[in-house]
Amino acid sequence: MAVGSDRRTTDQGPLLSVVLPAYNEAGNVGPMAARLAEILSADRSDAFARFEIVFVDDCSKDGTLAELRRLAAADPRVRYVSFTRNFGHQSALRAGLRHARGDAVVLMDCDFEHPPELIPELLARWREGAKIVAAQRETAAGDVSAFKRLTSRLYYRLLDSIGDVRIEPGSADFLLLDRVVVDTINGFDDHDLFLRGLVRWLGYPLVKVPYRQGVRSEGESSYTLRRMIDLAVTGIIAHSVKPLRIAIHLALVFALIGVLLLVYSIVSFLAIGHTVAGWTSTMSAIAILGAGQFLVLGIIGEYIGRVLRETRNWPPFLVAETETSAAPPAAAGR
């Protein structure tokens, strides 16, 4: 079955979708659905009589899917998409955006690190006309590890200086998007999504709402260092071609070093009559040059790999099951 937003209705007032990627969150999806229902029902403004909760099971191994089947059977406002294998958080966000039918869509983690209590405030900004409302994490010492704070700050600064988007430290994939923005993003087919960069690149004014990060209530973070590095590389490659230019800068630097070394050898030969005993300097020059070449080849390889993935035109995720189907054959997610 295709994942899409074709069943959206607007005759009974706007619909809100809350999209939550879930990987091994069996202990969190139930309490999260209950908390969301409580908060959204308490939001008594006429503007939001209707909401849906869309979970994206990223092929969890811990019974999350069984929990989702149970929740959806008990409450028609709970919907889900389940992947054939683990496609990662960003692909889960993309699937959620395609499955959501809302006029406004909130994206958030389902481990309570993104406080659901903030949603009414995001909605208030949306009602005032904002197309994108970004929840901005305000960190106090102890909320997030010093390592994570420092690396995220350095990374966003790097992205700001070499890329085409400016992402403020503390940004996360905790966002409210208007239907116009969701439809625009759904029209993008690139494989490597870096959502927090893309929503800023679109150019719609972005309204920020600060929040204090909650504590993960169950399970463990599945963002290992390797996954964080993967996401960081995806962000840079999606928003900058400058790393490719490192080759040119490095070539100039090494050419300069080579020329200086040559001048030094000629001068010392003419002045004091002996040549540079060259083994060490030759070897170190080869090593430096070799490292530089490997670095540049690696960077080019990353870009070429992405180009290959895009041209292969494979779907960014495959759906095994949704709330309307028990377990049919896998269908493409685009």
Residues that bind ligand UDP (CB under 6 A): 21-23, 25, 58, 86, 88-89, 92, 109-111, 113, 221-223
Q: Of 145 and 280, which CB lies nearer to ligand UDP in the complex structure? A: 145
Q: How far is the CB of 154 from ligand UDP (least distance, A)?
A: 17
Judge whether 175 and 248 are in contact, CB under 8 Å. Answer: no
Q: Of 221 and 282, which CB lies nearer to ligand UDP in the complex structure? A: 221
Q: How far is the CB of 202 from ligand UDP (least distance, A)?
A: 22
Cα separation values, 69 from 30, 62, 111, 162, 324, Å: 11, 14, 19, 45, 10
Q: Of 24 and 240, which CB lies nearer to ligand UDP in the complex structure? A: 24
Q: Of 229 and 259, which CB lies nearer to ligand UDP in the complex structure? A: 229
- State how far the Cα of 191 lies from the Cα of 60, in Å rounded to an integer: 21
Q: Of 23 and 156, which CB lies nearer to ligand UDP in the complex structure? A: 23
Burial tier of 27 (Cβ tally within 10 Å: 0-12, 13-18, 19+):
middle
Per the listing, tokens 């994939």 go with: 173
Q: How far is the CB of 174 from ligand UDP (least distance, A)?
A: 10
Burial tier of 228 (Cβ tally within 10 Å: 0-12, 13-18, 19+):
middle
Judge whether 88 and 58 are in contact, CB under 8 Å. Answer: yes
Which residues partner with 82 through β-bridges? 57, 321
- Report how far Cα 100 is from the mean position of its chain's Cα atoms: 18
Q: Of 22 and 177, which CB lies nearer to ligand UDP in the complex structure? A: 22
Q: How far is the CB of 91 from ligand UDP (least distance, A)?
A: 8
Task: Tell me the Ramachandran region of residue 55: left when phi exceeds 0, alpha when psi lies from -120 to 50, beta otherwise.
Answer: beta
Q: How far is the CB of 266 from ligand UDP (least distance, A)?
A: 56
- State how far the Cα of 157 lies from the Cα of 190, in Å rounded to an integer: 24
> DSSP per residue over 276-329, as a string?
---HHHHHHHHHHHHHHHHHHHHHHHHHHHHHHHHHHT--S-EEEEETT-SS--
Which residue, 123, 156, 174, is CA-closest to 231? Answer: 156
The two beta strands, 318-322 and 206-211, are: unpaired
Q: Of 52 and 173, which CB lies nearer to ligand UDP in the complex structure? A: 173
Q: How far is the CB of 127 from ligand UDP (least distance, A)?
A: 26
Q: Of 27 and 120, which CB lies nearer to ligand UDP in the complex structure? A: 27
Q: How far is the CB of 172 from ligand UDP (least distance, A)?
A: 7
Q: How far is the CB of 152 from ligand UDP (least distance, A)?
A: 10
Phi, psi of 19 (to 5 degrees): -105, 130
